[in-house]
Amino acid sequence: MSETEQTTDPVEVPRHAELVDEQVVAWYFLASLVYFMVSLSGGFLMAFQLIRHNPLDGVELLSPGRWRMVHTNAIAYGFLANAFLGMLHWVVPRLTLHPVLDRRLSRLIFGAWQFVVLSTAAGLLLGEAQALEWGETPVWIDPVAQLGLLLVAINFMAPICKVQGPLYVTLWYFIAAFIWTFLTYAMGNFVPEYFVTGSSAGAVGGLFIHDLVGLFVTPLGWGMMYYFVPILLKKPIWSHGLSLVGFWGLAFFYPLQGIHHFLYTPIPMFLQYGAVLSTIAVELVVTTVVINFFGTLWGDGRKFWDNMPIRWFYTGMVYYFLTCFQCALQVTMTFQQLIHFTDWVVGHAHLVMFGVFSMWLLGVMTYLFPRLLKREWYSRTLSEWHYWLSTGGILFMAGDLILGGLFQGWSWMGLQPWDHSVEISQPFWATRIVAGLAIFGGQLCFIWNLYKTWQLGPAVDSGSTPSAERAVAE
């Protein structure tokens, strides 16, 4: 660039340190990893109970039923929410070139969110859970969490509102996620509790559990993919038109899907059929998004092997396509007869929550930790183990549970006694523990690698500037 051009350039790009509070990003990531490990321990306790080997037999406060709720809540609100918040504190300021509304607010929200997660865990173990799936949070915590979500939205919307000109697709997804998460949480935690009862409450509960995935986790997940993938591949996204289809398709079809958790219940049939149709429609939308990302990778296939974050991202996308395809099948009334309430659904849930969104977040952490710590990863071998144990472990676990679910369904459809289905499930449930150990081992490699990276190593340049990232993303 010539000197004249430099003096006439009207855009003054703030420095990274002015934009991003790296400490907060690191805190969120570390908190998320702690809850992740706690959650996995809860998963193991429940899994051992199912093969009749509860290691804490007789300890009521630590009974597997309570740990099951800690397992699921710690994943959703402890691991995923914290990791997403850390990611948002990096991405939003760099993409908008404006810091969050107030750094002190970020720190307050960090503390408040940990309070929400920890008191939820304590409440669940003390028997204070509400009878709402995914909304088990003790009743007095709900308003605190709701207020927290509002503050999160305000803190990030401030820089987004300052952007002049068209918004990059990542920001559409993030804006939608802030609004939808706030509304979804309110719908699931207050409406069935105070306003509706019976099958109406069931319908709202169904919408809530699925909208948590579709309107909180999914838009944040895809939003961050639209940000990180072009930066790492050093080229723009393949088709802007397809990004539009993906975003608006999600917005139109996702909100109706949740009732598909309660097919064959007293909920009116028009709602059940609506859920079936919108679920199949989302599968078509998802295909366009996946095509868009593979179109972007086209010609750079080598990077899948060389670049660890890209490998995490694209593996997650393959799993994403598989889960959505599975969903389009399992949502039909015919298929539901076989797999309803079986481990097929549990296999599906693990594939989505770990195989997709956790994989993406672990990829983001693999990319960002060296930048936060100003050091290269201590060991590429440990990173490889992390990836392969996680990828193999989840494939093994999901395959095992999906197959087990089919056998359970056939047993029930054949009108065998209930005990029969429990007996035939034992080998599948034992196999789940082996697969779980692989996933757990993978995360231990990651944490050990992180610890060693933190301990030693020379400082490195933190990578591209915000303006360069923005140019690539646009």
User: Which of 439, 445, 450, 473 is in the footprint of ligand HEM by CB under 6 A?
Assistant: 439
What is the nearest approach in angstroms of ligand HEM to the Cβ of residue 391? 12
If the CB atoms of residues 31 and 97 are measured against ligand HEM, the closer one turns out to be 31
Q: Which residues does 455 contact at the CB level (< 8 Å), separation at least 6?
A: 378
B/e letters for 4-41, b = 16+ CB within 10 Å, e = fewer, are eeeeeeeeeebebeebbbbebbbbbbebbbbbbbbbbe
Residue 371 binds ligand HEM (CB under 6 A): no
What is the nearest approach in angstroms of ligand HEM to the Cβ of residue 345? 5
Residue 209 binds ligand HEM (CB under 6 A): no
Residue type, 18: E
The alpha carbon of 255 is separated from its chain's Cα centroid by a whole number of angstroms, namely 17
Residue 309 binds ligand HEM (CB under 6 A): no
User: Which of 31, 38, 69, 75 is in the footprint of ligand HEM by CB under 6 A?
Assistant: 75
Query: Counting every residue, how long is the chain?
Result: 474
Residue 354 binds ligand HEM (CB under 6 A): yes
Residue 358 binds ligand HEM (CB under 6 A): yes
User: Which of 74, 145, 349, 365 is in the footprint of ligand HEM by CB under 6 A?
Assistant: 349
Can you spell out the DSSP letters for 399-418?
HHHHHHHHHHHHHHHTT--H
Binding segment for ligand HEM (CB under 6 A), chosen from 17-25, 104-112, 343-351, 457-465, is 343-351
If the CB atoms of residues 106 and 315 are measured against ligand HEM, the closer one turns out to be 315
Binding segment for ligand HEM (CB under 6 A), chosen from 23-31, 156-164, 261-269, 436-444, is 436-444
Q: 82 exposed, middle or buried (CB, 10 Å; 0-12, 13-18, 19+)?
A: buried
User: Which of 261, 350, 375, 470 is in the footprint of ligand HEM by CB under 6 A?
Assistant: 350
Q: What CA–CA distance (Å, rounded) separates 370 from 343?
A: 38
Contact between 96 and 163 (Cβ < 8 Å): yes
Binding segment for ligand HEM (CB under 6 A), chosen from 6-14, 20-28, 169-177, 352-360, is 352-360
User: Which of 66, 68, 94, 98 is in the footprint of ligand HEM by CB under 6 A?
Assistant: 68
Phi-psi region of 97 (alpha: psi -120 to 50; beta: other; left: phi over 0): left
Residue 72 binds ligand HEM (CB under 6 A): yes
The tokens describing 217, both together, are 């986790």
What is the nearest approach in angstroms of ligand HEM to the Cβ of residue 50? 6
End-to-end CA distance of the chain: 20
Residue type, 208: F
Q: Which residues does 140 contact at the CB level (< 8 Å), separation at least 6?
A: none
Residue 210 binds ligand HEM (CB under 6 A): no
User: Which of 51, 151, 322, 345 is in the footprint of ligand HEM by CB under 6 A?
Assistant: 345
Judged by the rule CB under 6 A, the positions of this chain that interact with ligand HEM are 40, 43-44, 46-47, 50, 68, 71-72, 75, 345-346, 349-350, 353-354, 358, 432-433, 436, 439-440
